[in-house]
């Protein structure tokens, strides 16, 4: 009910009495090369069992932790062989609990078992230059952002090229370094178009449905917008990393505050949702801090957004 009270009062922010702050549960890792340590952690995904999968980009490997943050496994090393990685940027989990990785410098998507065994790899060199973000549909289609070709590439579950859309530019249906991507159960594709400071929503075939930019976000006191990761929770809320906070994207393009620096954020890059009731965030800066954080997230607190015509995304 606190959301309704805020709307009726035109109160831009909740107070501590309105809702308990979304608290930091646990921090994982620090800068380093040992197990459980990171060197620019980027993409994150969650397995069916709730394990946390992290693309440890500059260590050229994938690390896996339990939902409680206990180190489980790591695999990968720098190289150009099929079972090696060269700056893996993002990860996604398939319906059969395999781990799909964007291997950026090797210009391919690789699929591993949770034990680190290479299952398949898709080069699609004529279509992929620098794959970065990745998302997987319920039908196992693979959606990849290509940050140097400034486009979205869609592959079949077998890795065959299906279609792509977008090109470099600043128009609504164009991209300037589209880093991160998410997909919902309606197969709507959400793209974090970093260079254009916008979130763009497309149909599966690439038809533009909505676009929101800094004019829509209405971030009080923020003159610079820096977009990063995007994900979708099980209620269909679109969750966005912007500047040093995490927001829910509303129908009118407003960003609704969820987690802020006062909760432990400082340099978030990527975010994913866990059905364990958490948001998991990778953080890295130019100093010593390289970590993954687990935050408590009760999607029920935001469920009323779906029933407010002004605030719930409707396409």
What's the angle, vertex CA 252, arms to CA 7 and CA 267, rounded to 5?
Answer: 90
3-12, 20-29, 86-95, 302-311: which range is least confident on average? 3-12
Whether the predicted pLDDT of 282 surpasses 60? yes
Among 11-15, 132-136, 209-213, name the most confident range: 132-136
For residue 8, count other CB atoms closer than 10 A to its CB. 8
Q: What's the Cα-to-Cα distance from 21 to each of 15, 39, 94, 263, rounded to whole Å?
A: 9, 29, 32, 7
Rg (CA), the chain: 18
Inside any domain, residue 95: yes
Summarize the confidence of residues 213-220 as an average pLDDT: 86
Query: Considering the chain, what is the average pLDDT of its residues?
Result: 89
Q: Exposed, middle or buried, 213 (CB in 10 Å: 0-12/13-18/19+)? A: middle
What's the angle, vertex CA 55, arms to CA 200 and CA 283, rounded to 5?
Answer: 70
Inside any domain, residue 314: no
Cβ 280 vs Cβ 241: under 8 Å? no
Quote the tokens at residue 153: 């590439």
For position 13, what pLDDT does the model report?
47
**Domain around 98:** 2-307
Quote the tokens at residue 126: 């004529």
Give which of 65, 26, 25 is closest to 44, Cα–Cα: 65
Please state, in angstroms and rounded to a whole number, the distance separating the CA atoms of residues 219 and 27.
27
Inside any domain, residue 312: no
Inside any domain, residue 214: yes
φ, ψ at 170 (rounded to 5°):
-115, 10
Q: What is the pTM of this model?
A: 0.90
Strand partners, 241: 246
Inside any domain, residue 58: yes
For position 175, what pLDDT does the model report?
97
3-12, 31-40, 42-51, 251-260: which range is least confident on average? 3-12
Give which of 286, 290, 222, 311 is closest to 260, Cα–Cα: 222
Summarize the confidence of residues 58-86 as an average pLDDT: 96
Q: What's the Cα-to-Cα distance from 10 to each of 3, 236, 297, rounded to whole Å?
A: 10, 25, 24
Give which of 230, 226, 196 is closest to 213, Cα–Cα: 196
Please state, in angstroms and rounded to a whole number, the distance separating the CA atoms of residues 295 and 303.
18
CATH code where residue 291 lies: 2.120.10.30
3-state secondary structure of 185: coil
Total tally of structural domains belonging to the chain: 1
Band the pLDDT of 127: cuts 50, 70, 90: confident
Inside any domain, residue 313: no
Residue whose tokens read 């909740």: 14
Please state, in angstroms and rounded to a whole number, the distance separating the CA atoms of residues 302 and 2.
9
Inside any domain, residue 18: yes
3-state secondary structure of 203: coil
Whether the predicted pLDDT of 10 surpasses 50? no
């Amino acid at each position: 009910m606190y959301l309704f009270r805020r709307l009726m009062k035109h109160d831009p922010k909740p107070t501590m009495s309105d809702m308990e702050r979304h608290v930091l549960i646990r921090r994982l890792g620090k800068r380093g090369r040992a197990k459980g340590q990171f060197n620019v952690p980027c993409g994150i995904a969650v397995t069916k069992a709730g394990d946390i999968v992290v693309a440890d980009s500059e260590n050229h490997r994938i690390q896996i932790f339990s939902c409680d943050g206990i180190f489980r496994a790591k695999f990968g090393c720098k190289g150009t062989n099929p079972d090696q990685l060269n700056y893996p940027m993002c990860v996604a989990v398939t319906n059969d609990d395999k781990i799909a990785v964007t291997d950026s410098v090797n210009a391919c998507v690789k699929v591993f078992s949770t034990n680190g065994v290479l299952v398949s790899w898709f080069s699609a060199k004529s279509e992929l230059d620098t794959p970065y973000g990745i998302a997987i549909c319920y039908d196992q289609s693979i959606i990849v952002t290509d940050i140097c070709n400034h486009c979205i590439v869609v592959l079949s579950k077998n890795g065959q090229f299906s279609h792509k859309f977008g090109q470099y530019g600043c128009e609504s249906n164009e991209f300037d370094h589209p880093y991160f991507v998410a997909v919902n159960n309606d197969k709507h594709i959400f793209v974090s178009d970093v260079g254009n400071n916008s979130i763009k929503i497309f149909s599966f075939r690439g038809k533009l449905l909505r676009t929101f930019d800094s004019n829509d976000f209405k971030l009080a006191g923020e003159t610079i917008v820096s977009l990063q990761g995007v994900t979708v929770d099980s209620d269909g809320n679109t969750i966005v990393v912007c500047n040093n906070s995490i927001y829910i994207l509303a129908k009118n393009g407003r960003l609704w505050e969820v987690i802020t620096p006062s909760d432990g954020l400082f340099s978030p890059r990527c975010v994913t949702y866990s059905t364990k009731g958490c948001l998991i965030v990778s953080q890295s800066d130019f100093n010593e801090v390289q970590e993954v954080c687990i935050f408590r997230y009760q999607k029920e607190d935001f469920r009323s957004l779906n029933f407010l015509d002004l605030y719930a995304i409707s396409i």
